[in-house]
Chains A and B, each alone.
Chain A
Amino acid sequence: QSALTQPRSVSGSPGQSVTISCTGTSSDVGGYNYVSWYQQHPGKAPKLMIYDVSKRPSGVPDRFSGSKSGNTASLTISGLQAEDEADYYCCSYAGSYVFGTGTKVTVL
């Protein structure tokens, strides 16, 4: 199972929106509505931000949203804040689990 493809980095100013893509295949992202997204600050464990493509766990700000089209899932952060600066990973069920390559979000 090959890792899902994410951009290495994205950046935005406070208040702006950024979108992270996560590209897989019809065997993973395109085949199941089981895409999740994780935020990871340096030295910390990943934290669930989005599950089942677009659902937000309790406590996650509504500026985080998820979507999917075909074999590509996306995470959008609207109204970017300083604390959103972190690494983000997508994950898809694919008969097993496969993670994305990771994206570093920088708040300018």
Chain B
Amino acid sequence: QVTLRESGPALVKPTQTLTLTCTFSGFSLSTSGMCVSWIRQPPGKALEWLALIDWDDDKYYSTSLKTRLTISKDTSKNQVVLTMTNMDPVDTATYYCARIISWGSYFDYWGQGTLVTVSS
């Protein structure tokens, strides 16, 4: 049974760095082709793809946010970590992690999401 769960702070201040952790089970990120991705959704708005890391530790980022994002994995802990620097109120959103079975394919399992509010 595949599950993913996001964790991290519910509130961050402007200019701070956000660190989110995706803890997953039911699959291994060392399996050839496997990927974990981050997607966010501001309140009442559309989904936005952020970043992806694959089984081979290749990393891909949204062009518009690339300078602020870092994605990493700890295969032994079944975790993927996303950091986003210089947070702004416009970054207030629910952040989801999701599994992809091969780069280019679809998001088949999602976490429940974690709401991050950016406010002083």
Using CB atoms and an 8 Å cutoff, list the residues of chain A in contact with chain B. 1, 3, 32, 34, 36, 38, 44-48, 51-52, 57, 89, 91, 93, 96-102
**How far does the alpha carbon of A48 sit from the alpha carbon of B52 in the complex, in Å?**
18
Scoring B45, B48, B63, B110 by chain A CB atoms within 10 A of each residue's CB, the highest score goes to: B110
**What are 10 A-B contacts with C-beta separation under 8 Å?**
A1-B64, A45-B111, A45-B113, A46-B110, A51-B106, A57-B108, A89-B47, A91-B49, A93-B105, A99-B39
A100 to chain B, nearest CB (A): 7
Q: Does B107 contact A (CB under 8 A)?
A: yes
User: A48 — nearest CB in chain B belongs to which residue?
Assistant: B108
A46/B108 in contact, CB under 8 A: no
B48/A99 in contact, CB under 8 A: yes
User: A35 — nearest CB in chain B belongs to which residue?
Assistant: B106
Q: A34-B106, A52-B106 are in contact. Are A45 and B46 (CB under 8 A)?
A: no
Q: Does B16 contact A (CB under 8 A)?
A: no
